[in-house]
Amino acid sequence: MSQITDSQKPEASAHQTGGQTHFGYKNVPIQEKEARVADVFHSVASKYDLMNDLMSAGIHRLWKRFTIETSGVRKGHRVLDIAGGTGDLTMKFADIVGDDGEVVLADINASMLKVGRDRLLDKGYGRNIEFVQANAECLPFPDNHFDCVSIAFGLRNVTNKDRAIESMLRVLKPGGRLLILEFSKPVLPIISKAYDLYSFTALPVMGKLIAGDSESYQYLAESIRMHPDQETLKAMMETAGFARCKFYNMTAGVVALHTGIKP
């Protein structure tokens, strides 16, 4: 497994040209990406939580915690957790909104949704949670419906990110908040080098040993590099129509939380 070089990495801005889009560092037909991403998550769903804890040394819990702290969600609110996966954010949101509120855990992947639903039901959640299989690009919800929409570690897997952000804007109520938690670009060069080394050597090995699948974790590392950096994503949110857009770098920019308000 070799470390990434600039010549290997395609231009992130060159995504979706000529009917092609990126799937990690590969270019694939746009209509294929969704199925390929689905295969990745079908493959890793059962070991998803364990791998998250191992890969991040548990820090992903603090990234998600900060997202909740920034959400401004209150009792009685209606929250949409897109790409909710195994339900980490949904659980916290459900505690806060209480029985008067509602949390929708949406994921495009049936395997992830099943793992998330089983996990939440086993923990005694469910009264104020709905589980919906949905594509972030065309959310099956009415306009102006949610007080808060979150997508944690999901946007980079979406084929058309602009369309997904526009869809999130549509379902938010005016004054509602979008939270995008996603891997981003480290702000310190030394961290960036160490992070690349870790991503392209340790992650696939861990994936092979724990989840029996190194390719999915190779894709994870590649897809992170292809994801828009902090400023680009912020500009995408502003272009979609969000106001007061800003981002918080976490762990030296390895992860960033973007927030925006629907005007």
Partner 1 sequence: MAIDPVIVSSMTAAIEEAINKTLQYSPASQKHIDQLDGAVIDICTDPFNIRLQFGNQRIFIHHQTDESPAQATISGSPLALLRLATSSESLTNLGKNSVVIEGDSETIQQLYAFVKTLDIDYEAMLAEITGGIPAHFIGSSFRSLRRWTKSANESMESNIEEYLQEEGRQVPARVETEIFADEVDELTLAVDRLAARIELLVQQKKESPNT
H helices of 181-229, in order, are 189-197, 203-206, 214-226
What is each CA distance from 238 to 41, 141, 170, 248, in whole angstroms? 30, 22, 14, 16
Query: The tokens of 99 are what?
Result: 């029985």
- Among residues 35, 62, 138, 243, which is the contact residue for partner 1, using CB under 8 A? 62
Piece of the chain touching partner 1 by CB under 8 A; list 18-26, 94-102, 110-118, 222-230? 94-102
Query: To the nearest whole angstrom, how small is the minimum distance from the Cβ of residue 68 to partner 1?
Result: 8
* Closer residue to partner 1, CB minimum distance, 127 or 142: 127
Piece of the chain touching partner 1 by CB under 8 A; list 13-21, 156-164, 218-226, 247-255? 247-255
111 binds partner 1 (CB under 8 A): no
- Among residues 23, 48, 63, 183, which is the contact residue for partner 1, using CB under 8 A? 63
Q: Which of 258, 85, 107 is nearest to 184 (CA)?
A: 258
- Angle in degrees, CA 168, 151, 66, rounded to 5: 125
DSSP state of 17: B
* Closer residue to partner 1, CB minimum distance, 69 or 231: 69
Piece of the chain touching partner 1 by CB under 8 A; list 17-25, 34-42, 55-63, 157-165? 55-63
198 binds partner 1 (CB under 8 A): no
The widest CA-to-CA distance across the chain, in whole angstroms, is: 53
- Cα separation, 70 vs 65, in Å, equals 9
Query: To the nearest whole angstrom, how small is the minimum distance from the Cβ of residue 110 to partner 1?
Result: 29
Contacts of 173 (CB under 8 A, 6+ apart): 144, 145, 146, 147, 262
- Among residues 69, 118, 130, 231, which is the contact residue for partner 1, using CB under 8 A? 69
* Closer residue to partner 1, CB minimum distance, 54 or 191: 191
Contacts of 194 (CB under 8 A, 6+ apart): none
- Cα separation, 238 vs 137, in Å, equals 17
192 binds partner 1 (CB under 8 A): no
Residues in touch with partner 1 (CB under 8 A): 59, 61-63, 65-66, 68-72, 74-76, 95-98, 248-252, 257
